[in-house]
Amino acid sequence: MSDAPTHLRVAICQINPTVGDLDGNVALALEALAEAEDAGADVAVMPEMTITGYPPEDLVLKPGFVADCRASLEKFAAQTGRCAVVIGFADGDADPGRAVQDVAGIDHFNGVWNAVAVCAEGRIFGTYHKRHLPNYDVFDEQRHFRPGDEALALFEIAGVPVGVTLCEDSWIPDGPVTQLARGGARVVLNVNGSPFREGKQAVREQVITDRVLEAGVPVVYANLVGGQDELIFDGGSFVIAEDRDGASVVARCGSFSEGTDVFDIELPPERPTMDTYRTVSVTPAPSAVRTLIPAPMVPTLDPLAERWEALVLATRDYVRKSGFAKVCLGISGGVDSSLTAAIAVDALGRDNVHGILLPSRYSSDHSLDDAHLLAANLGIATSTIPIEPAHAALTEMLVPHVSDGAIEVGDLTDQNLQARIRGVVWMAMSNEHGWLALTAGNKSEAAVGYSTLYGDTAGAYAVIKDVWKLTVYELGRWRNQIAIAETGSPVIPEGVLTKAPSAELRPGQTDDQSLPPYEILDPVLQAYVEDDCTVAEIIAMDIADRDDVERVCRLVDIAEFKRRQTPLGARLTKKAFGRDRRMPIINRYRG
């Protein structure tokens, strides 16, 4: 026992794979592995589904995809050396069509596992199949995978018995992490594809703290980074180990950033084993005494910085992984489009963002001035295309076909006509120039349907779709504080943040003519949408009067058909429209 290694040199590789890009993902993994080997790492820990990208969703229902995934893993393994690697992939059954019944008696017709492989010296030493498949929140893994049920095993890496688990396995009390520790593991490597939401980092660290206190061994939590459709993976990998006060974070990597961090982990003393597992010898202990490499300890971000970085990463990855380099969006001088433009510039660079000003007969001079000032502050090119000619022509064309022989100035038809003209124009610019079109609607508007279908909702990606209106203002002020500290000048004009919000689709229009003030609206919406409260429960909270609560909740219900037809956007909150909140369109419940 006295000759047992006291430390393990670990490389946590925060990789940003792309779903389905098997060759590209292998190349990323090999690049990270080279960094780990150069630093003398004993083991490189790569995220869940590194080979496939995560989540692969129904791609794993294609036997050909799973076979190609296995071939890609073998291609990767063949290029490994002394540094062991734990890497995620989709592992297939020889007979993917047969029904398999798990321990709960559930039939699984897909013979595919969410898996990790342990590789070194040009070969695959073994695999581990994820045992606990999440089927809540944004997860749908029971549709795509079958749970692992093989006997647990340890991998001896650099002379250290190591346990390997996958994501949800570490959330289970007395589950695989603790079982592996009872079998003699001195450290557990947990690979993850844990999507971001506000406050998630603290939740993860608490859960792993609970496992460490239960198991008595350090846990390495290696997380994916990058954007995939609505989901954002924020990295923030960490290590938790026991200390005098219980357990604490002893290493933490950066959030929302790729990179390979190599450092030494102190191991607990060997202990008598309570269970016996097969041990696979992977790599021998290094013979030379090494100078210890200290662990990184990157501080966590404050909530607004965290949201901003999430939106920037999500926007960058959605645009680039979709094959685009440049984007366009309408900028009106309002807070939503201003914030969206600022995020796009931080994500893609000013040369890749084009603002389109689409003034109507109702656009105010101050809004146009604010839009021009925003563009100047951001350094982006703009086009100004007045919509009045199209508005007049379409009005004239429609007049013979409306019931009263006139389209009234500022009525609903007139307002939506303008919004749809704008959508047509920026989609035409998208087609002409090869730009991906961004939309700027926020979560409060999406919740109550305060938008025009095929108008301001037109586009490919809704950057702030999961950001409440009050948070839009908070983020705008926060970004200005950063800009002032860096350059002495704000990014978003102050007038944008102080004037009354308005769609400017009729004379003198402001949002609060159609909706309660956002200070009332947002808390009601949060209770109804995110907390699943009934109308009666919200009324009892006394956060708004009965009439406002009933009207707002009714608007949420009847706008479901709109939300189903709008672009996806980054998920930030605990319950975003789309992946999280799935309500029936036809719905007569009024609780």
Number of H helices, E strands in the chain: 17, 22
Is the four-CA dihedral 190, 299, 40, 14 of positive or negative sign? positive
Cα angle 416, 422, 427 (rounded to 5 degrees) comes to 125
Surface-to-core class of residue 261, CB atoms within 10 Å of its CB (0-12 exposed, 13-18 middle, 19+ buried): buried
Query: Is residue 48 annotated as part of the catalytic site, yes or no?
Result: yes
Q: Which helix (H) or strand (E) holds 117?
A: strand 112-120
Q: Are 129 and 114 in contact (CB under 8 A)?
A: yes
Residue of 13, 69, 167, 328 marked catalytic? 167
Query: Is residue 130 annotated as part of the catalytic site, yes or no?
Result: yes
Question: Nearest Cα to 572, choosing from 466, 472, 476, 468?
Answer: 466
In whole angstroms, give the CA distance from residue 310 to residue 465. 13
In whole angstroms, give the CA distance from residue 357 to residue 372. 9
Q: Are 233 and 226 in contact (CB under 8 A)?
A: yes
In whole angstroms, give the CA distance from residue 423 to residue 237. 41
Surface-to-core class of residue 126, CB atoms within 10 Å of its CB (0-12 exposed, 13-18 middle, 19+ buried): middle
Q: Are 574 and 544 in contact (CB under 8 A)?
A: no
Q: How many CB atoms lie within 10 A of CB 189?
A: 30
Cα angle 119, 125, 172 (rounded to 5 degrees) comes to 85
Query: Is residue 575 annotated as part of the catalytic site, yes or no?
Result: no
Q: How many CB atoms lie within 10 A of CB 6?
A: 13
In whole angstroms, give the CA distance from residue 250 to residue 431. 51
Residue of 69, 130, 306, 504 marked catalytic? 130
Q: Are 466 and 576 in contact (CB under 8 A)?
A: yes
List, in order, residues 6 or more apart from 524 with CB less than 8 Å away: 516, 538, 543, 544, 548, 549, 552, 553
Query: Rounded to a whole number, what is the distance in angstroms from the first to the last CA of the chain?
Result: 64
Catalytic residues: 48, 130, 167
